[in-house]
Structure 1
């Protein structure tokens, strides 16, 4: 039997893992462009193993960002960020390669295996189910005097479908060239990512992810009403609250929070919504949000009938990932020497 339950406290929506929402970022890693030789004797890396590494990295990255931006609505796509960094990982060597492998959770995976599994994952994501559109696009822009080796270019284009180009950063229209690529890759959602190219910029690693999904269980527009929503600082704000019909959802209830999986399309993609209990807090939830707990929570989800009420929301988020990646241990990749 379905019961109507109106959300009356702050909630957390996670756009982590493969259910990525539209976002983009830029970073300027090491200018090393030498392609480290791949192992000739390689053991194939299962796609599941690569996804596990991406998820571990994603939770570490999210936790690091939360440390400095706790009061903001944070939106990241670890799968697309991982793909972009794995592409540049092919050009790393020595201590830089070791640091990147550790941060990206790739230490136990062969380079060729990572590349081949990445290609398979990109292919799977590029052919989603009905009602879902998901695009991941990678590009690497180097200052004109930074050459790329042919093997690095081959791997980037073959495995990561990357757009790799050198560009004269001194030209006034250089930023416009990059911004056009970003706009085209996000279907116009992000029109101007780079405001100005600085004199000491040598490399831009830019990743764009576009996600558009239809709810599997749609909300009725006539059932959207203004309701109270409680903010982190204790204030209450009236927001449009969407309400769906009675349906069966994957659901979890603990002594700290409720969680529900809200599927898109045919159910391969989902948004997971977490609602901390009134006696708990978002800060407490963040403290236990890691891959180990995530896997446990996912294994405990059970089918349960119910009616979901969810605030309609829209927000933008932009972050330069340099500091977070340095804090995680990838600082050597940003060394300009």
Structure 2
């Protein structure tokens, strides 16, 4: 099995765990259980996370990859506020929101954001949302105000034809991820009218650090059977452990126990995809109650990598296809016809003896829908003409015009 397939899942589980937890602020928040339908939305978000993860994993069997479902949910959540009709229903179905209204979703996401960023000393979790609007595009004020109120979105009106706008957007992303994701866009499409961007940054020390002196070069077996020497960290510690017929799992807590990293290793007679196939929100919840603290000698690789993925196909497969077509209804965003042009996510992770640093950026591109005006037919090169009789269909005249000339 590859380092990619096991440990790309780590940040996924970390982000999922984050959605049930809470800038350094010791002020206690009110219980998330008091937020109406809050647990219902978290469960729905987690199910979306597993579904998206499975879609991506099918295309990345041999590679390192990492996604942030939380980042994707927040970026798409902002755009959700502009959807109407069938498009709005598609968003609700993809996120498994059931009878949760859009207004309730916004309020719950606001509470999730507040809980995620409410960390204590030794841990940083920062969330930044922004909406970038082409200054000639008539975006609705209600769309802007809703995202400012619930997603704390920064609003930027820019000239998308100005090359400096691209640099400004990429600088914003780089600043919000502490340089770990220095650029998210390579260009601004001529049809682009709006970008909704979410940026996450996480950094935390382990509760129990690995001693650097115990790190050694050890063999790691890849999927194709070959062996690679990698730096392996080790520690002996009481940790939460769980095992079933498919995999074994350990939880490593971060400082102050607010976050944890869940490691999941398929048994030797199983493949990573066997394990992924069992992952859904129902099983995930059931597994959580079966972890028990045990004394373990924990050995795992140090690793760091970056990853980027276009989510268009995965989201289409999950049921959001209408939002990417000319049939999309974003009338809550603008009176002009618009559709999603792309959903792109870039991620970064570094896991070492001290702790973990991770970042994610998701950008949702919105473009104007192609106009449905008359199709152009331009005779600007030699052509043939045919004159027929309507009743019989008889051809009366045929000709070719190579050089148009006219005399009175």
Query: What's the TM-score, normalizing by structure 1?
Result: 0.86
Q: Which of 132, 143, 147 in structure 2 is aligned with 1:152?
A: 143
Question: Moved runs in structure 1, 4+ residues, more than 6 A?
Answer: none
| Counterpart in the other structure of 2:315 | 325
| Counterpart in the other structure of 2:173 | 182
| Counterpart in the other structure of 1:87 | 78
For residues 1-337 of structure 1, the aligned pairs below 5 Å read 11-12=6-7, 13-17=9-13, 19=15, 45-244=36-235, 246-335=236-325, 336=339, 337=369
**Is residue 99–residue 330 contact of structure 1 (8 Å, CA) maintained in 2?**
yes
Distance in 1 separating the partners of 2:4 and 2:202: 27
Structure 1 gaps, min length 5:
1-7, 22-42
**Is residue 5–residue 65 contact of structure 2 (8 Å, CA) maintained in 1?**
no
Distance in 1 separating the partners of 2:250 and 2:49: 20
Distance in 2 separating the partners of 1:300 and 1:333: 40
**Is residue 135–residue 211 contact of structure 1 (8 Å, CA) maintained in 2?**
yes
Distance in 2 separating the partners of 1:60 and 1:164: 31
Deviation at 1:166, TM superposition (A): 3.1
Distance in 2 separating the partners of 1:329 and 1:139: 25
Relative distance call for 1:9 and 1:180 in structure 2 (3 A) is closer
Comparing 119-128 and 221-230, the one that deviates more = 119-128
Query: What's the TM-score, normalizing by structure 2?
Result: 0.71
Deviation at 1:17, TM superposition (A): 5.0
SS at match of 1:259: strand
Alpha carbon RMSD of aligned pairs, Å? 2.1
Distance in 2 separating the partners of 1:87 and 1:120: 15
Distance in 2 separating the partners of 1:185 and 1:113: 28
* Number of aligned positions between the proteins: 308
Relative distance call for 1:46 and 1:79 in structure 2 (3 A) is same
**Is residue 242–residue 248 contact of structure 2 (8 Å, CA) maintained in 1?**
yes
Q: Deviations over 1:236-289 (max 9, x none)?
A: 100010011x22111101222110111111112111101111111112112212
**Is residue 183–residue 192 contact of structure 1 (8 Å, CA) maintained in 2?**
yes
Structure 2 gaps, min length 5:
18-33, 326-338, 340-368, 370-408
Q: Which has the higher strand share?
A: 2
Larger radius of gyration: 2
Distance in 2 separating the partners of 1:315 and 1:119: 30
Distance in 1 separating the partners of 2:128 and 2:276: 29
SS at match of 1:121: helix
**Is residue 10–residue 232 contact of structure 1 (8 Å, CA) maintained in 2?**
no
Relative distance call for 1:95 and 1:10 in structure 2 (3 A) is closer
**Is residue 15–residue 70 contact of structure 2 (8 Å, CA) maintained in 1?**
no
Deviation at 1:61, TM superposition (A): 0.8
Deviation at 1:144, TM superposition (A): 2.9
**Is residue 219–residue 227 contact of structure 2 (8 Å, CA) maintained in 1?**
yes
